[in-house]
Amino acid sequence: MISSPVVPVFAVRAWPGLIEAYRPYLPVTPETPVITLHEGNTPLIPVPTIAAEMGRGVQVFVKYDGLNPTGSFKDRGMTLAVTKAKEAGAQAVICASTGNTSAAAAAYARRGGLKAYVIIPDGYVAMGKLAQALLYGAEVIAIQGNFDQALEIVRDLSEMYPVTLVNSVNPYRLEGQKTAAFEVVDALGNAPDWLCIPVGNAGNITAYWMGFCQYHQEGRCDRLPRMMGFQAAGASPLVQGHVVSHPETVATAIRIGNPANWERAIAVQHASQGSFSAVTDAEILRAYQKLASQEGIFCEPASAASVAGLLKCKDQVPEAATVVCVLTGNGLKDPDTAIQQGSDHFHPGVPANLEKIAEIMQLP
Ligand code: F0G
């Protein structure tokens, strides 16, 4: 028996943030000082043109987590990680980041009155993310190295100094992020057949699986999805089966060669009969443009890897399956890539003259 979709009591009131919404499923007590920006409750949006391309009655939705307060799914993990850090008396948090984690860590830390230190790969963080971390008031240290090196350094620093590590090796991050799976089941009334998700450090795929399994145990869904993880071809250690020492991709959010949650990700793949596949930068950018120009959904390039992957594996999707693609971050995070990709439609420096403009518009 599947229980009917949850209609939470707060549905008619303001959304309280995911810790309040899913309190019974999370490691908090009445005394825990909840630090929230009312994250979560993001929409599950049908994408009909992508579904039509799939054919055979396949239904496709995107979980648009770019609508979280700092514009990515990281807020789900960060509300809980920073809450628990605060509860434990921490005064500072630290993370390595390709950008989104740093924005979320900075926002939640400052909200909770903690200091935030973020270490990022110099020159490989999208402009919007850097802007966020700076304005939220984090100390931003851009290193001449990649994310994997930054993660090694912050792991050591957090052992040597009184700063709490809030990368996805912090178990509270995954606990918070699993709520995205709860929301998917709450919206669909069951788990999807497939969950397509971009994979970098492999925290999110692990967290989603935790959420689906927990809801399944509680009888909130009667099936579990196949977990389909997609990596950028130039940064695809889980596909290749070995560390990639110089990862490269236009999708800088997932420019990672040695995922911290490697073993967990492999366990998820086996348990869910899922797979890891690579998508090229060209495929990622095609899906990125398609989502924006055909569906009106602006995500960041890394997020589009989920849709690129689905389109690539189209023939493996069972007939009439329900598929959810996770869109992990907002397109506004990376205006440079958007402007480059959309430049065909840009007409700069046009004289302020009606005839000239009408000519460009090619009006009949
Ligand atoms: N999508 C986006 C937009 C991301 O920012 C990330 C990771 C992922 C997907 C991959 O998620 O690491 O859990 O497999 N960004 C991290 C960061 C690494 O520092 O912001 P994952």
Percent of the chain past pLDDT 70, that is, above it, reads 96
Helix (H, G, I), strand (E, B), or coil: what is residue 63? strand
| Pairing relationship of beta strands 322-327 and 194-198 according to DSSP bridges | parallel
C-beta of 302 in contact with ligand 1 (< 6 A) = yes
Token digits for 80? 């809980």
Is residue 293 predicted with pLDDT exceeding 80? yes
Average of per-residue pLDDT across 159-181: 98
Tell me if 243 sits within 8 A of 26, measured CB to CB: no
112 labeled binding residue: no
Identify the pLDDT of residue 364. 79
* Among protein residues, the one whose CA lies closest to atom 6 of ligand 1: 253
- pLDDT category at 256 given cuts 50, 70, 90 is very high
Q: What is the pLDDT of residue 362?
A: 93
Q: Helices 281-295 and 301-312 meet at what angle, rounded to 10?
A: 100
**pLDDT tens by residue, 15-47:** 999 999 999 999 999 999 999 999 999 999 999
Q: How far apart are CA 135 and CA 48, in angstroms?
A: 38
253 HSE (CA, 13 A, CB side): 32
67 is written with which tokens? 């609508």
Query: Is residue 363 pLDDT above 90, yes or no?
Result: no
Q: Is 49 labelled as part of a ligand binding site?
A: no
Residue 100, annotated as binding a ligand: yes
Residue 167 near ligand 1, beta carbon < 6 Å: no
Q: Per-residue confidence at 297, pLDDT binned at 50, 70, 90? A: very high
| CB of 328 shorter than 6 A to ligand 1 | yes
Which residues lie below 8 Å from residue 360, measured CB to CB, with a gap of 6+?
Answer: 347, 350
User: At CA 190, angle to CA 185 and CA 195, rounded to 5?
Assistant: 70
In short, whether 101's Cβ falls inside 6 Å of ligand 1 is yes
Answer whether 192 contacts ligand 1 (Cβ < 6 A).
Answer: no
d(C-alpha 71, C-alpha 349), whole Å? 32
- Does the annotation flag 328 for ligand binding? yes
Averaged pLDDT, 168-177: 97
CA distance 105 to 112: 10
Q: Which of 108, 118, 254, 303 gets mutated to test ligand 1 (max ligand atoms within 8 A of its CB)?
A: 254
In terms of DSSP H, where are the helices of the chain? 18-21, 48-54, 74-87, 100-111, 127-136, 147-160, 171-177, 179-188, 203-217, 237-240, 262-272, 281-295, 301-312, 335-341, 354-361
Please indicate if the annotation marks 41 as binding a ligand. Answer: no
- Name the pairing type of β-strands 115-121 and 92-96: parallel
CA 227 / ligand 1 centre spacing (Å): 16
146 is in an annotated binding site: no
Q: How far apart are CA 102 and CA 96, in angstroms?
A: 7
Is residue 300 lining ligand 1, measured as CB closer than 6 Å?
yes
Sheet holding 275-279: strands in order across? Answer: 44-46, 59-64, 322-327, 194-198, 226-232, 275-279
331 lines ligand 1 (CB under 6 A): no
Note the pLDDT of residue 66: 98
Question: In this predicted model, what pLDDT tens digit does every residue of 310-338 receive, in sequence order?
Answer: 999 999 999 999 999 999 999 999 999 99
Known binding residue 206? Answer is: no
- Cα gap 220→27, rounded to integer Å: 19
Mean pLDDT in the chain?
Answer: 96
For residue 42 and ligand 1, the question of a CB distance below 6 A is answered with: no
Predicted local distance difference test score (pLDDT) of residue 8: 55
Q: How far is it between the farthest Cα atoms of the chain? A: 69
DSSP 317: S
φ, ψ of residue 141 to 5 degrees: the values are -115, 110
- Give the Cβ contact number of residue 113 at 10 Å: 10
pLDDT tens digits, residue range 340-350?
999 999 999 99
Closest CA to 220 of 261, 186, 174, 254: 186
Alpha carbon distances (Å) from 122 to 48, 110, 147, 207:
39, 23, 10, 28
Q: What percent of the chain has pLDDT over 90?
A: 95
Pocket of ligand 1, candidates 132, 204, 227, 256: which has the most ligand atoms within 8 Å of its Cβ, to mutate? 204
- Calpha distance 56→321 (Å, rounded): 9
pLDDT of 192 strictly over 60: yes
C-alpha to C-alpha distance for 198 and 325, rounded to whole angstroms: 9
Please tell me if the CB atom of residue 202 comes closer than 6 angstroms to any atom of ligand 1. yes
Query: Which pTM does this prediction carry?
Result: 0.95
Residue 155 has pLDDT above 90, yes or no: yes
Is any atom of ligand 1 closer than 6 Å to the C-beta of 237?
A: no
With H, G, I as helix, E, B as strand and everything else as coil, classify residue 194.
Answer: strand
pLDDT band at 230 (very low <50, low <70, confident <90, very high): very high
With cut-offs at 50, 70 and 90, classify the pLDDT of residue 3: low
**Which residue type is seen at 342?**
G
- For tokens 């999807």, the residue is 192
Mean pLDDT for 71-93 is 98
Q: What is the pLDDT of residues 90-148, one digit of tens each?
A: 999 999 999 999 999 999 999 999 999 999 999 999 999 999 999 999 999 999 999 99
Expressed in angstroms and rounded, the spacing between residue 343 Cα and the centre of ligand 1 is 27
Output the six-digit token pair for 227: 């977990």
C-alpha 242 to ligand 1 mean position (Å):
19
